[in-house]
Structure 1
Protein backbone atom coordinates (compact mmCIF):
# COMPACT_ATOMS: atom_id res chain seq x y z
CA UNK A 1 0.00 0.00 0.00
CA UNK A 2 1.44 3.41 -0.89
CA UNK A 3 2.91 5.21 2.12
CA UNK A 4 0.59 8.21 1.97
CA UNK A 5 -2.53 6.03 1.95
CA UNK A 6 -1.14 3.77 4.68
CA UNK A 7 -0.35 6.74 6.90
CA UNK A 8 -3.83 8.24 6.38
CA UNK A 9 -5.54 4.92 7.12
CA UNK A 10 -3.53 4.27 10.28
CA UNK A 11 -4.23 7.80 11.56
CA UNK A 12 -7.95 7.43 10.87
CA UNK A 13 -8.12 4.07 12.65
CA UNK A 14 -6.14 5.43 15.61
CA UNK A 15 -8.56 8.37 15.84
CA UNK A 16 -11.45 5.89 15.99
CA UNK A 17 -9.63 3.93 18.74
CA UNK A 18 -9.38 0.80 16.57
CA UNK A 19 -6.91 -1.88 17.65
CA UNK A 20 -4.45 -2.28 14.74
CA UNK A 21 -2.23 -5.29 13.99
CA UNK A 22 -0.04 -4.67 10.95
CA UNK A 23 1.44 -7.66 9.16
CA UNK A 24 -1.27 -9.96 10.54
CA UNK A 25 -2.93 -12.65 8.43
CA UNK A 26 -6.57 -13.40 9.17
CA UNK A 27 -7.03 -17.19 9.23
CA UNK A 28 -10.51 -17.47 10.68
CA UNK A 29 -13.46 -15.70 12.22
CA UNK A 30 -16.46 -16.55 14.31
CA UNK A 31 -19.26 -14.59 15.90
CA UNK A 32 -17.52 -11.86 17.90
CA UNK A 33 -13.90 -12.86 17.29
CA UNK A 34 -11.21 -13.16 14.66
CA UNK A 35 -8.22 -15.53 14.54
CA UNK A 36 -5.01 -14.20 13.01
CA UNK A 37 -1.36 -15.11 12.62
CA UNK A 38 0.67 -12.29 14.18
CA UNK A 39 4.46 -12.56 14.24
CA UNK A 40 4.23 -16.31 13.63
CA UNK A 41 1.80 -16.86 16.50
CA UNK A 42 -1.90 -17.67 16.19
CA UNK A 43 -3.93 -15.21 18.26
CA UNK A 44 -7.64 -14.69 18.85
CA UNK A 45 -9.12 -11.21 19.21
CA UNK A 46 -12.57 -10.08 20.24
CA UNK A 47 -13.93 -8.17 17.26
CA UNK A 48 -17.23 -6.77 16.08
CA UNK A 49 -15.72 -6.11 12.66
CA UNK A 50 -12.40 -6.46 10.84
CA UNK A 51 -10.66 -4.02 8.50
CA UNK A 52 -8.36 -5.73 6.01
CA UNK A 53 -6.12 -3.23 4.23
CA UNK A 54 -3.65 -5.06 2.00
CA UNK A 55 -3.17 -2.65 -0.87
CA UNK A 56 -3.47 -3.68 -4.49
CA UNK A 57 -1.08 -5.17 -6.99
CA UNK A 58 -1.90 -5.23 -10.71
CA UNK A 59 -2.27 -8.66 -12.32
CA UNK A 60 -2.09 -8.83 -16.10
CA UNK A 61 -1.32 -12.56 -16.26
CA UNK A 62 -4.45 -13.43 -18.25
CA UNK A 63 -3.83 -10.56 -20.67
CA UNK A 64 -0.28 -11.81 -21.27
CA UNK A 65 -1.54 -15.34 -21.97
CA UNK A 66 -4.21 -14.09 -24.38
CA UNK A 67 -1.71 -11.88 -26.23
CA UNK A 68 0.67 -14.85 -26.57
CA UNK A 69 -2.22 -16.83 -28.05
CA UNK A 70 -2.66 -14.13 -30.69
CA UNK A 71 -5.60 -12.19 -29.27
CA UNK A 72 -5.69 -8.39 -29.22
CA UNK A 73 -5.98 -7.30 -25.59
CA UNK A 74 -6.51 -3.94 -23.93
CA UNK A 75 -5.81 -3.93 -20.19
CA UNK A 76 -7.77 -1.35 -18.16
CA UNK A 77 -8.43 -0.29 -14.59
CA UNK A 78 -6.51 -1.74 -11.66
CA UNK A 79 -5.05 -4.45 -13.92
CA UNK A 80 -2.84 -1.66 -15.32
CA UNK A 81 -2.00 -0.20 -11.92
CA UNK A 82 -4.04 0.60 -8.82
CA UNK A 83 -5.58 4.06 -9.15
CA UNK A 84 -8.84 5.87 -8.59
CA UNK A 85 -12.16 4.55 -9.84
CA UNK A 86 -12.45 7.40 -12.36
CA UNK A 87 -9.43 6.08 -14.28
CA UNK A 88 -10.94 2.59 -14.47
CA UNK A 89 -14.31 3.92 -15.66
CA UNK A 90 -12.67 6.13 -18.30
CA UNK A 91 -10.43 3.31 -19.57
CA UNK A 92 -13.37 0.89 -19.62
CA UNK A 93 -15.42 3.34 -21.69
CA UNK A 94 -12.50 3.81 -24.09
CA UNK A 95 -12.04 0.05 -24.42
CA UNK A 96 -15.74 -0.45 -25.15
CA UNK A 97 -15.43 2.05 -27.98
CA UNK A 98 -12.53 0.07 -29.45
CA UNK A 99 -14.42 -3.21 -29.16
CA UNK A 100 -17.60 -1.67 -30.55
CA UNK A 101 -15.76 0.11 -33.35
CA UNK A 102 -16.76 3.57 -32.14
Structure 2
Protein backbone atom coordinates (compact mmCIF):
# COMPACT_ATOMS: atom_id res chain seq x y z
CA UNK A 1 0.00 0.00 0.00
CA UNK A 2 2.82 2.43 0.95
CA UNK A 3 6.00 0.89 -0.48
CA UNK A 4 8.09 4.00 0.25
CA UNK A 5 7.32 3.83 3.98
CA UNK A 6 7.87 0.09 4.49
CA UNK A 7 11.65 0.27 5.23
CA UNK A 8 11.05 3.00 7.80
CA UNK A 9 8.32 1.00 9.55
CA UNK A 10 10.38 -2.21 9.56
CA UNK A 11 13.43 -0.30 10.82
CA UNK A 12 11.36 1.31 13.56
CA UNK A 13 10.03 -2.05 14.74
CA UNK A 14 13.53 -3.57 14.71
CA UNK A 15 14.84 -0.61 16.74
CA UNK A 16 11.96 -1.04 19.22
CA UNK A 17 12.66 -4.77 19.57
CA UNK A 18 16.34 -4.05 20.23
CA UNK A 19 15.58 -1.46 22.92
CA UNK A 20 12.93 -3.67 24.51
CA UNK A 21 15.35 -6.60 24.71
CA UNK A 22 18.06 -4.38 26.20
CA UNK A 23 15.78 -2.98 28.89
CA UNK A 24 14.48 -6.45 29.77
CA UNK A 25 18.03 -7.73 30.12
CA UNK A 26 18.98 -4.81 32.37
CA UNK A 27 16.00 -5.47 34.64
CA UNK A 28 17.35 -8.99 35.26
CA UNK A 29 21.12 -8.35 35.31
CA UNK A 30 21.71 -5.02 37.05
CA UNK A 31 19.90 -5.83 40.34
CA UNK A 32 21.97 -9.03 40.54
CA UNK A 33 25.11 -6.92 40.47
CA UNK A 34 24.01 -4.25 42.92
CA UNK A 35 22.09 -6.02 45.69
CA UNK A 36 23.85 -8.02 48.41
CA UNK A 37 23.78 -11.80 47.96
CA UNK A 38 20.94 -12.34 50.45
CA UNK A 39 18.71 -9.86 48.59
CA UNK A 40 19.59 -10.52 44.95
CA UNK A 41 16.51 -12.49 43.96
CA UNK A 42 14.30 -10.04 45.85
CA UNK A 43 15.92 -7.18 43.92
CA UNK A 44 15.28 -8.87 40.58
CA UNK A 45 11.68 -9.61 41.56
CA UNK A 46 11.14 -6.03 42.73
CA UNK A 47 12.59 -4.58 39.52
CA UNK A 48 10.43 -6.88 37.39
CA UNK A 49 7.32 -6.06 39.44
CA UNK A 50 7.86 -2.30 39.17
CA UNK A 51 8.34 -2.60 35.40
CA UNK A 52 5.03 -4.49 35.16
CA UNK A 53 3.25 -1.86 37.27
CA UNK A 54 4.60 0.86 34.99
CA UNK A 55 3.43 -1.04 31.93
CA UNK A 56 -0.05 -1.48 33.40
CA UNK A 57 -0.33 2.19 34.34
CA UNK A 58 0.86 3.24 30.88
CA UNK A 59 -1.61 0.91 29.18
CA UNK A 60 -4.43 2.33 31.28
CA UNK A 61 -3.48 6.01 30.87
CA UNK A 62 -2.50 6.02 27.18
CA UNK A 63 -6.03 5.96 25.68
CA UNK A 64 -7.21 8.63 28.12
CA UNK A 65 -4.24 10.83 27.32
CA UNK A 66 -4.73 10.42 23.58
CA UNK A 67 -8.38 11.38 23.93
CA UNK A 68 -7.89 14.37 26.24
CA UNK A 69 -4.57 15.97 25.25
CA UNK A 70 -3.69 14.44 21.88
CA UNK A 71 -0.84 12.28 20.59
CA UNK A 72 1.82 14.99 20.44
CA UNK A 73 1.52 15.84 24.13
CA UNK A 74 1.34 12.15 25.11
CA UNK A 75 4.62 11.51 23.26
CA UNK A 76 6.20 14.50 25.00
CA UNK A 77 5.08 13.15 28.38
CA UNK A 78 6.55 9.75 27.50
CA UNK A 79 9.85 11.35 26.47
CA UNK A 80 9.91 13.35 29.71
CA UNK A 81 9.33 10.22 31.82
CA UNK A 82 12.16 8.42 29.99
CA UNK A 83 14.50 11.41 30.40
CA UNK A 84 13.68 11.63 34.12
CA UNK A 85 14.33 7.89 34.52
CA UNK A 86 17.63 8.24 32.70
CA UNK A 87 18.73 11.13 34.94
CA UNK A 88 17.72 9.35 38.14
CA UNK A 89 19.54 6.20 37.00
CA UNK A 90 22.64 8.17 36.03
CA UNK A 91 22.95 9.85 39.41
CA UNK A 92 21.71 7.11 41.77
CA UNK A 93 22.76 3.82 40.17
CA UNK A 94 26.35 2.81 40.96
CA UNK A 95 28.70 1.97 38.08
CA UNK A 96 29.61 -1.73 38.10
CA UNK A 97 32.06 -1.98 35.20
CA UNK A 98 35.17 -4.05 36.03
CA UNK A 99 33.98 -4.79 39.59
CA UNK A 100 33.50 -8.20 41.19
CA UNK A 101 30.10 -9.10 42.69
CA UNK A 102 31.21 -8.69 46.30
CA UNK A 103 32.43 -5.15 45.62
CA UNK A 104 29.33 -4.14 43.66
CA UNK A 105 27.09 -5.34 46.49
CA UNK A 106 28.96 -3.05 48.90
CA UNK A 107 28.75 -0.13 46.42
CA UNK A 108 24.99 -0.55 46.08
CA UNK A 109 24.32 0.03 49.78
Report TM bin, short chain. Answer: 0.3 to 0.5
Give the structure-2-normalised TM-score. Answer: 0.31
Greater relative contact order, per chain length (Cα 8 Å cut-off, separation 6+): 2
Larger strand percent: 1
Which one has a bigger Cα radius of gyration?
1
TM-score of the two chains, using structure 1 as the length reference: 0.33
